Amino acid sequence: MSEKQHPADCSSSLNLSHVQANRLGQMLTDDACRRLGIFVIPEDFVLSVVIPVYNEVDTVLTVIERVRRTGLPLELILVDDGSQDGTREKLQALSPSSDLKVIFHEKNRGKGAALRTGFAEASGTAVVVQDADLEYDPDDFRFLIQPIVENQADVVYGTRYGHHDRPVPPLWHVAVNRLITRLANLRTGLYLSDVETCYKLMRRELIQELAPNLKENRFGIEIELTVKLARKRVRFYERPIRYDRRGFDQGKKIGWRDGLRALYCMLRY
């Protein structure tokens, strides 16, 4: 199996009724059910998945398929940020679907700008960001929405460093991320383990209140958003996620300038 292929995950299709959840709860402990993501999703719950896309012709259709395969009630919002490698044409050729909305930026404006566009279009109960490069596994969505559904959190961050069941990343990657995260924690008063994570899941009304005033057009959006969420004193939660890091030779776009911008954003916001 290649590094971009994943076996079927039984947890991703656990769309349980109350009777089924109670039956499993009697067979297993409450802690086991929680760790396995066994809980009932409310009938009116919809997860809006905002996917910023820029030159991801090899992965964009696979990402759509993988997100849909979670079996969750979804609204997919793809924002093509001026792609020039054939991604745009692939998205334009997609068949109309009730769960999918595609928006096109005429020119490249950056991840932050694409996210603002997507946040404004969301209509679900909660909103999560999904990159189009397959570094993150959408099967983790079920575990991320659980604290929201159980009213334990308003914001849930998926942490790449909260466990050890993962591919081993380069030391420099971890060191830079930890430095930025620790500085952000000093700035916000939070104790996060991974502030630069893509998987930030938020109640829709919360992010749509903030979105019109977000200013960062590139990856500085990660720090700006965290600082402004912390300022509102909302309930934060972290859950471990899987992460399959790709290199710059595979199209990774964030660079050292974005690290400096992150430091600037901590001071600015």
pLDDT in tens, 34-91: 777 778 899 999 999 999 999 999 999 999 999 999 999 999 999 999 999 999 999 9
Instruction: Please report whether residue 71 resides in a domain.
Output: yes
CB 140 within 8 Å of CB 61? no
Domain coverage including residue 229: 44-268
Kindly state the tokens that stand for 28.
């297993």
Instruction: Please report whether residue 32 resides in a domain.
Output: no
Give pTM, 2 decimals: 0.82
CB 124 within 8 Å of CB 48? yes
CA distances from 119 to 33, 179, 243, 252 (A): 32, 28, 23, 23
Instruction: Please report whether residue 69 resides in a domain.
Output: yes
Coil/strand/helix, residue 80: strand
Instruction: Please report whether residue 181 resides in a domain.
Output: yes
Domain count, the chain: 1
C-alpha closest to that of 110 among 152, 66, 163, 54 = 54
Confidence at 255, pLDDT banded by 50, 70, 90:
low
pLDDT at 26: 64
- As a whole-number percent, the residues of the chain with pLDDT over 90 amount to 61
- As a whole-number percent, the residues of the chain with pLDDT over 70 amount to 80
Q: Looking at the predicted structure, is the pLDDT value of residue 131 above 80?
A: yes
Q: What is the chain's Cα-based Rg?
A: 18
CB 74 within 8 Å of CB 52? no
Q: What is the CATH number of the domain that holds 162?
A: 3.90.550.10
